[in-house]
Each structure stands twice: as structure tokens, then as C-alpha cells.
Amino acid sequence: MNAIMKSYLFARKLHMRRIPVIPNLITICNRILFSCDIPPTSEIHPTTKLGHNGLGLVIHPNSAIGENSVIMQQVTIGGNHGKMRVQDGREFGHPIIGKNVFVGAGAKIVGPIFIGDNVIIGANSVVTKDCISNGVYAGIPAKRLKDIPDQDPNNNLHYGNF
């Protein structure tokens, strides 16, 4: 686990215990030291890996990232200026990312969208619509390029040590 992830998890733990000032100070230190904005209010699974210590990473305060995901540098995961969506009786305006997702360098994921499980998002892609599970998405705007079978033994997104 890299330093930025440890820092985020510590700030998240303090935020969940309703300690008001320290998580915000940690977030400010992360902006200065790692050039990234990962608020303690976002839900990021502890097994998520951030490439290059999260350099340039910007995450929406309410977004969620599932387990075993890999997020590379210069990625933006954000809202879309108040655009909201209702799903299962709850309203949200931020991305929700599933399990085992790889997000390539420089990708932008914006708006109230779902990214399914086992998805690969190519570098510098702009994702503005939902991504169905088990697929490769790339382009501006991102389009599904390839299917990834569930039983594919090479469908392992845990390559590299971050």
C-alpha cells in the first residue's frame, strides 16, 4: 500500500469517527505533497491501488471505488455540475466504480454514472455514460471496444507494484 492510500485511510477513519479538523488538514497535506485531491468523504476500498502515489488524481467527495481497482495518475473522477440521477430510490451526482476496474492515465470519469465490475478504461478516455461489466472502454467519448469473458484467466488487473 502506498503512502497516499495510507494517508487517505487514516483521514477516512478520523472522518468516520466525526473528528472534524484533522481529516481536512490531511487532505490539504496530500494536495501539497502528492498533488492529488482525495477527500475523506469518498468511499475507496483499502485494496484499491493508486499509480504513482496518486499524482494528479482528483476524486469527487461522494464517489465510491470498489475493491482491487487500479487508478493511474492524472485521473479525474468527478461530478457534472449538478447533474443528478435517481437509482434505487436514491439520488446521486457522482461516479460509482465497481470491483476490479483499471482506469488508465489521464482518464476522465464524469457525471452520475456506474462503472461495472472487471472494466478496463483506456488512457485519456472520457467516460460520460455507464460502462457495463466485463469490457474494455476507450476514446472520447468512451465506447465499448471489447468484451472480457468472466472465465478469462488473464483477466487480472493486479499487475505492477504501485
Q: Determine the Cα–Cα distance for residues 126 and 139; give it in Å rounded to an integer.
A: 7
Nearest residue to 5 via CA among 96, 71, 98: 71
- pLDDT given at position 90: 78
- pLDDT tens string 17-65: 999 899 999 999 999 988 999 999 999 999 999 989 889 999 999 999 9
Q: Determine the Cα–Cα distance for residues 24 and 141; give it in Å rounded to an integer.
A: 34
Answer whether CATH 2.160.10.10 is correct for domain 43-147.
Answer: yes
- pLDDT given at position 155: 52
Q: Mean of the per-residue pLDDT values for the chain?
A: 88
Answer whether 0.85 is exceeded by the pTM. Answer: yes
Question: Which strand ranges, in their side-by-side order, compose the sheet holding 76-78?
Answer: 58-59, 76-78, 108-110, 126-127
% residues pLDDT > 70 (the chain)? 93
Per-residue HEC secondary structure of 129-145 comes to: CCECCCEEEECCCCEEE
- pLDDT tens string 117-159: 999 999 999 999 999 999 999 999 999 999 888 755 455 554 4
pLDDT over 80 at 161, yes or no: no
In the chain, where the domains are located:
43-147
